[in-house]
Each structure stands twice: as C-alpha cells, then as structure tokens.
C-alpha cells in the first residue's frame, strides 16, 4: 500500500498546523512554502480536510487554517479517507473469473481491507511528531 501524494501533503500540513499556537490560523500559502508543497494543490487537500472536520478554515486577512482537534485525536485512516475517499475492496472483472472464484477473491480483499482500515484507524498523527523538529509558522510576515 502506498499513500497518495495528496495524503502525504495533508499529513505534512497537519503536522505544520500542530506546531502553531492554538487558534492561530495559518494561510495556505504559508503552509505550502513551509512544507515545499504546491499551493493550489494543497488548498484542495485542505478543503477536503475541512469538509471532514479535521481542520477549520477562517476567511479574511487574518484567516487561514487551524486544527479542529489535536493530532492524537486524528487517525491516519481519517486523513486518507477525507482526501482519497473510502478504502475499497473491489475486484475488477469479477464476472470473468471461474464460477465462485470472483466472489471468494472479493471476500478475501474485503477482509484484508477491513484489517488495514482497523490498523490505520489505530495510528494517530501524533505518533509522527519528531522531537525538536518544530518550526514556528507564525513568526514573521505572512
């Protein structure tokens, strides 16, 4: 399994937001610069995260994004599914397998997907914080 670039950007942005003083919005432009991410792409990622209640956005000159909850309450599964949609377990062309094989394969994939979902749900973003690697985002001009 490999994370999409969108999810990687989302995790990076959330980690950056976690280093900001609580309630201090950070602009998408600043997050993009700090994380070396393309701003237009990151904005779409942040919108997905906002729709799922992982971040909150504020408009205006002092607007930007803030975490809606602490990193230890955000699972990797939440982030993946907020950005990429639900993990699936389908089997393309199932009808072309020998009798019953397609259904058995689909059931096996469903079981594996459920195990992966459970494991990802147990991983909190706080686990990825590296001690001493924080850079404040709010210092200096926006």
pLDDT for position 123 = 94
| Residues of the chain where predicted confidence (pLDDT) is lower than 70 | 89-90, 94, 130-142
Query: And the tokens for 25?
Result: 């919005």
Pick from 76, 66, 86, 55: nearest CA to 25: 66
Q: Is 10 left (phi over 0), alpha (psi -120 to 50) or beta?
A: alpha
pLDDT (0 to 100) of residue 98: 83
Write down the pLDDT at residue 107. 87
Determine if residue 85 is left, alpha or beta; phi over 0 gives left, psi from -120 to 50 gives alpha, anything else beta.
left
CATH number for domain 5-86, candidates 3.40.50.970, 1.10.10.10, 3.30.365.10, 3.60.15.10 = 1.10.10.10
Helix (H, G, I), strand (E, B) or coil at 40: helix
Per-residue pLDDT at 94: 67
- What integer pLDDT is reported at residue 14 of this predicted model? 96
pTM listed for this prediction:
0.81
């Amino acid at each position: 399994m490999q994370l999409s670039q969108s999810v990687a950007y989302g995790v990076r942005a959330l980690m950056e937001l976690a280093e900001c003083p609580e309630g201090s919005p950070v602009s998408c432009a600043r997050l993009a610069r700090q994380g070396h991410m393309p701003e237009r792409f990151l904005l779409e990622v942040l919108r997905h995260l906002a729709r799922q209640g992982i971040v909150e956005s504020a408009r205006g000159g002092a607007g930007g994004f803030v975490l809606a909850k602490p990193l230890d309450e955000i699972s990797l599964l939440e982030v993946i599914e907020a950005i990429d949609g639900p993990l699936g377990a389908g089997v393309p062309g199932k009808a072309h397998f020998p009798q019953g094989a397609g259904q058995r394969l689909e059931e096996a994939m469903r079981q594996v997907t459920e195990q992966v979902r459970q494991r990802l749900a147990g991983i909190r973003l706080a686990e990825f914080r590296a001690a001493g690697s924080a850079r404040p985002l709010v210092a200096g001009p926006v």
